[in-house]
A = this chain, B = another copy of it.
Amino acid sequence: MKLFLSTYNYKIDKKGRISLPASFRSCISEKKSTEIILFKSFKYKVIEGCSYSRIENISKRIEQLDIFSDEQDDFLTSIFSELQYVKLDSEGRFTIPDDLKEYANINNEVTFIGLGHSFQLSEPKFAIQRQNESRSRNLEQKRTLKTNLSKNKNEYSD
């Protein structure tokens, strides 16, 4: 599976439809999938999205690995119950469910943010704010970043 990358700004049309960025479509189209999964981010007032296969993987990890405390498990369970299937039309567009739209303060415009195996949908101004925040937090903690990135260097050929 290709990774969800980059940032896109799209408009919601009068009928409430919005295009999933073409590069995102190719991230979920292994079996010409016409569905995505959307849910409320538990951290921020944004919508989280991913492919169905991602949900399957997370589910397996929770079952097999015992690394989650009861508390976290409950947390995850509550997230799963909020997952929604969302269909894409023949042009690759979809409609954001009302409750999610409200949760993320989304009106006419949406910013898609790629996060590797998932993506976020958010109100454009809030998206910029979040990107700035995480960038500056990363810069402040530069040393942690370097250590982590170079630690496993030898495992990879490039």
Which residues of A pack against B, CB within 8 Å?
1, 3-7, 23, 37, 42-43, 51, 53-65, 68, 70-71, 73-78, 80-85, 113-117, 130-131, 134-135, 137-139, 141, 144-146, 148-158
Closest to A118 in B: B76
Majority secondary structure of chain A interface residues (helix, strand, loop or mixed): helix
Given A114-B80, A138-B78, A145-B75, residue A53 in contact with residue B5 (CB < 8 A) = no
Are B148 and A158 in contact, CB atoms less than 8 angstroms apart?
A: no
Whether A57 lies near B138 (C-beta < 8 A) is no
Q: Across the interface, do A3 and B59 meet the contact criterion of CB distance under 8 Å?
A: yes
Is the Cβ of A149 less than 8 Å from the Cβ of B61? yes
Q: Is the CB of A134 within 8 A of B78?
A: yes
Among the listed B3, B7, B55, which residue makes an inter-chain contact with A5, where contact means beta carbons less than 8 Å apart? Answer: B55
A selection of 19 A-B contacts at a CB cut-off of 8 Å is: A3-B80, A5-B83, A5-B84, A6-B81, A6-B82, A6-B83, A62-B116, A63-B117, A74-B134, A75-B145, A76-B116, A77-B113, A77-B115, A77-B131, A78-B138, A81-B115, A146-B154, A146-B155, A149-B157
Chain B residue contacts of A64, Cβ below 8 A: 152
CA distance A23 to B86 in the complex (A): 10
Q: A3-B59, A7-B82, A74-B138 are in contact. Are A54 and B152 (CB under 8 A)?
A: no
